[in-house]
Each structure stands twice: as C-alpha cells, then as structure tokens.
C-alpha cells in the first residue's frame, strides 16, 4: 500500500515512475527526473514520521527513502546518500518537475 501512495504522489508531481516486479529487489521504485536522471527509491511505512519497528533499510542501492504515513498518506523523502553512505548528495524529490 505504501508504494502505491508514493507512486500516486510522484505521478501527480509529473515524474515518470517505475515499479519493481521482483519482491526481493534492492529498491521499490525508480523515478526519472526531467533532466533524465534516474533515482532509486526505497519505500517504508512510518508512524508519525518514524519507521515502524519491523521496517529495516536493507538496500545500499537506493538514493531516496520514502517514509509513508498510511493514516494521513503523507510522504517524507530523505536523501540516503547524505544520511547513510556519505556519497555526494543528490537533490531529494520535493517539488513538481519543470
């Protein structure tokens, strides 16, 4: 359900969104930006902005973590390059592409 919430939001923002067909894949979604950059997104269910106790981040491929509150359908995007791996930060998805 959380993945569909993120898909709906990103499609509404004008992004091209692709879902994985592999249930054990390293990411849940891929998004193509207006500039042609592909970002990989890991989607997790959150409760008041915090990961649920059973959720773990097990992907070192993802660029962005999308935290979804299923009660409100609010989505918070976090740049994983900055948070976890110290790689060059990428711009998080925050506004409609042009």
Fold for the domain defined by 2-85: Trna Endonuclease; Chain: A, domain 1 (3.40.1350)
- Tokens of residue 85, six digits: 């791996």
As averages over each run of 10 residues, the pLDDT of the chain (98 residues) reads 93 92 89 89 79 57 88 85 50 46
pLDDT in tens, 58-84: 557 888 988 898 888 888 888 876 655
69, β-bridge pairs: 46, 74
51, β-bridge pairs: 46
CB atoms within 10 A of CB 96: 10
Gap between the Cα atoms of 52 and 35, Å rounded:
34
Which residue is associated with the tokens 């740049």?
79
Strands 50-51 and 74-79: unpaired
Q: What is the pTM of this model?
A: 0.74
- Tokens of residue 45, six digits: 């269910």
Q: Where along the chain do its domains lie?
A: 2-85
CB atoms within 10 A of CB 15: 19
């Amino acid at each position: 359900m959380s993945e569909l919430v993120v898909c709906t939001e990103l499609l509404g923002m004008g992004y091209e969104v692709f879902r994985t067909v592999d249930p054990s894949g390293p990411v849940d979604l891929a998004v193509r930006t207006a500039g042609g950059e592909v970002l990989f997104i890991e989607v997790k269910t959150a409760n008041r902005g915090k990961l649920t106790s059973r959720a773990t981040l097990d992907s070192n491929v993802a660029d962005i973590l999308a935290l979804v509150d299923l009660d409100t359908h609010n989505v918070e995007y976090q740049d994983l390059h900055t948070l976890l791996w110290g790689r060059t930060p990428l711009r998080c998805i925050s506004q409609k592409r042009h």
